[in-house]
A and B are shown apart, each in its own frame.
Chain A
């Protein structure tokens, strides 16, 4: 891996009229000549779609998805095919949008959560979705033909507000992280849609001591990173050799990264080429990689700071996301109402 030397600021995108909470890259873009595109969502109750102009390389807002959510839109997620966009809102609904020739149409609304929905995520095949919220539950939905969605399970177990859900990239597992300071792992018992919590990563397992805000898997899915209000990032791993009879390999703590951020870390994202990016309320973006300099005397992998960017934004950073495609392009979203596009370069 080439050494990264600098985080170059490419462009600052303005448009949202309130804080930008989250953004999601369209996974079907940035390849085969299709220009990179992403969605952002905001306290201004709208979602904006941004696209890179292939000739000028600059970024433009292509669409504003409004008049649907009646409160903050907190999170968004594209289906793996890039054809549908799910948006989760404080108005307790999750909207599903379809791109119909450049225009985005709301084709479904998933209702059921009692209050604010905080996160949404699709599974790897796009056949299912998961959402979570302040009502302490995680919902599992099935995508049916004709843009119909059915709730197949409501997962209870967290004792507080659930901040984020992520479907594992290769295994049929849902991970959720919460204000109750834990990460919970949910598995489906056979094909029954009988979901249950198979592991809880709490303080007793070297877990976080305050709200866990986000989690992200590495490309192979055998490691994940979590970030928290306790000002640390934690790396976890799952050892297939320890897989139990029902096919679940438990997760264990590998490493804690502390002292890098001095305010709540809201977002973390593990790139395909193994660079972890974090964004926090201290307005900084930091990058971490596995530390291969050690002599093997330390038990397990350790991680080190690769690069930092203080004052990346003028206010809290709520989301950092690596783009799909070949280049090391990162987008960040902030309370200052802007989104910034960055490139991690080697010189």
Chain B
């Protein structure tokens, strides 16, 4: 059964140039743990995983669903908030995308981190309902025990070999 795509003609944006990070000198900084910052979180979500949009072979970065400045990090407090923008206002994939972001961060960040995920204010018709579901830990845990949903998330998070 071929179902209609929610957004058949997404706008594709150029992937941005990666800012080169200075490498700390080996001797002095061997035991220093680099604090996690905005770029690192963005890289986790866009480079290391290349999270695919559930409907298209493009990454969330290319569709500008996630952008670096929509990520708030406080490494000292162990807190991250990711704000994402679904490509269309009535996107029913919003909860799946949010779940993918949450799973990716769960697998990549230290366990002390508290993560909040939300849709950009004004970007979705049922914004409050989507945000509430994405931030209810028990609902997320139950969803991740659903094999069909886990398969979809793993598919979105699987590395893409070009």
What are 30 contact pairs spanning A and B, CB under 8 A? A19-B141, A43-B141, A71-B145, A72-B141, A72-B145, A74-B138, A90-B142, A118-B138, A134-B142, A161-B139, A163-B138, A179-B132, A179-B136, A179-B139, A210-B132, A211-B132, A211-B136, A229-B136, A263-B114, A264-B137, A281-B114, A281-B137, A282-B114, A314-B111, A314-B112, A315-B111, A315-B112, A316-B137, A335-B111, A336-B111
Question: How near does chain B come to A133, taking the closest CB pair, in angstroms?
Answer: 10
List residues of B whose CB falls within 8 A of some A CB: 111-112, 114, 132, 136-139, 141-142, 145
Query: At the interface, is chain A mostly helix, strand, loop or mixed?
Result: loop
Closest 8 CB pairs of A and B: A116-B142, A71-B145, A90-B142, A315-B111, A90-B145, A314-B112, A72-B145, A72-B141
**Bound: A211/B112 CA distance, A:** 24
Q: Identify the closest chain B residue to A211 (Cβ).
A: B136
Question: How near does chain B come to A97, taking the closest CB pair, in angstroms?
Answer: 22
Residues of A near B112 (CB, < 8 A) are 314-315
Given A71-B145, A115-B142, A336-B111, 4 more A-B residue pairs with CB atoms under 8 Å apart are A19-B141, A161-B139, A210-B132, A315-B112
**Bound: A43/B141 CA distance, A:** 9
Q: Identify the closest chain A residue to B133 (Cβ).
A: A179
Q: Identify the closest chain A residue to B145 (Cβ).
A: A71
Q: Identify the closest chain B residue to A90 (Cβ).
A: B142
Residues of B near A71 (CB, < 8 A) are 145
**Bound: A134/B145 CA distance, A:** 14
Q: Which residues of A from 157 to 177 have beta carbons under 8 Å from B? A: 161, 163
**Bound: A281/B141 CA distance, A:** 15
Residues of A near B145 (CB, < 8 A) are 71-72, 90
